[in-house]
């Protein structure tokens, strides 16, 4: 009897694992998961312009398995986008967005999704003639997309900026 119970327990575990909802994907900047950025004049507004002008496109790609279909018969997964900014190895700012729904596939994501321009431009109090200046240092910006209620992982991207 114990063997039969154990057999059914193992079968149940394998079945549950096989039917688990799963997301896999990547975030890339300029087709790389780790990229060095060059910023003109050390100003956040110039970095923003480079993203706006597609010098550094952010590509978000994901696929999913066994995600229930919505009422339109489409797979939809909600993601929370998180940004961490480090200066000389110390965290100087973080931002987390409310969940945003996405369909699987490839998509370009605007820089505003991650709020790192805002974090960088507010690291110091700027006089009007020095608006958006970023203090000198080495910066590491990590951008992440975390699925809500679904297992799996989207590989984050890292931006390296030196002034």
Using pLDDT thresholds of 50, 70 and 90, give the confidence band for residue 13.
very low
Residue 163: pLDDT above 60? yes
Q: State how far the Cα of 108 lies from the Cα of 138, in Å rounded to an integer.
A: 27
pTM (2 decimals)? 0.84
CATH topology of domain 21-162: Immunoglobulin-like (2.60.40)
Which of 100, 110, 104, 29 is CA-nearest to residue 65? Answer: 104
Q: What integer pLDDT is reported at residue 144 of this predicted model?
A: 98
Q: What integer pLDDT is reported at residue 160 of this predicted model?
A: 97
Residue by residue, DSSP assigns 71-138 as TTS-B-EEEEEEEEEEETTEEEEEEEPPPEEE-SEEEEE-GGGT-HHHHHHTSS---GGGTTBPPSSE
Residue 6: pLDDT above 80? no
Task: List the domain boundaries for the chain.
Answer: 21-162
């Amino acid at each position: 009897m114990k063997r039969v119970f154990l057999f059914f327990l193992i079968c149940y575990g394998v079945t549950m694992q096989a039917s688990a909802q799963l997301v896999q994907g990547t975030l890339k900047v300029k087709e790389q998961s780790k990229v060095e950025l060059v910023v003109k004049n050390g100003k956040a507004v110039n970095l923003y312009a480079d993203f706006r002008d597609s010098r550094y496109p952010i590509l978000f790609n994901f696929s999913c398995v066994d995600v229930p279909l919505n009422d339109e018969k489409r797979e939809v997964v909600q993601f929370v986008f998180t940004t961490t900014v480090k200066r000389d190895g110390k965290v100087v700012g973080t931002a987390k967005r409310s969940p945003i729904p996405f369909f699987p596939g490839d998509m370009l994501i605007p820089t505003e999704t991650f709020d790192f321009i805002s974090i960088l431009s507010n690291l110091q109090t700027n006089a009007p003639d020095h608006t958006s200046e970023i203090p000198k240092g080495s910066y590491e910006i990590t951008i992440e997309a975390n699925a809500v209620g679904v297992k799996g992982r989207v590989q984050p991207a890292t931006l390296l900026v030196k002034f």
